[in-house]
Amino acid sequence: MMFRVMPGFHINSNKPASELYIPTKVTFDVPTDISIVGMEYPEGEMISLAFDPDTKLSVYTGDIAVKGLVMVAKSAPTGTYRVHGQFRYQACDNRSCYPPASVPIQFDVSVAKPKSTTVQKDPPQSPHIHN
Judge whether residue 14 has pLDDT over 70: yes
Q: For domain 2-110, which CATH number applies: 2.60.40, 2.60.300, 2.60.120, 3.30.70?
A: 2.60.40
Specify the pLDDT at position 57.
92
The overall average pLDDT reported for the chain is 88
Specify the pTM: 0.78
Specify the pLDDT at position 94.
85
Whole-number Cα distances in Å, 60 to 97, 104, 127: 14, 19, 68
Decide: residue 52, CB within 10 A, 0-12 exposed, 13-18 middle, 19+ buried. Answer: exposed
> For the chain, what are the domain ranges?
2-110
Judge whether residue 103 has pLDDT over 90: yes
> 40-86 pLDDT, tens per residue?
999 999 998 877 888 899 999 999 999 999 999 988 899 999 999 99
Specify the pLDDT at position 113.
83
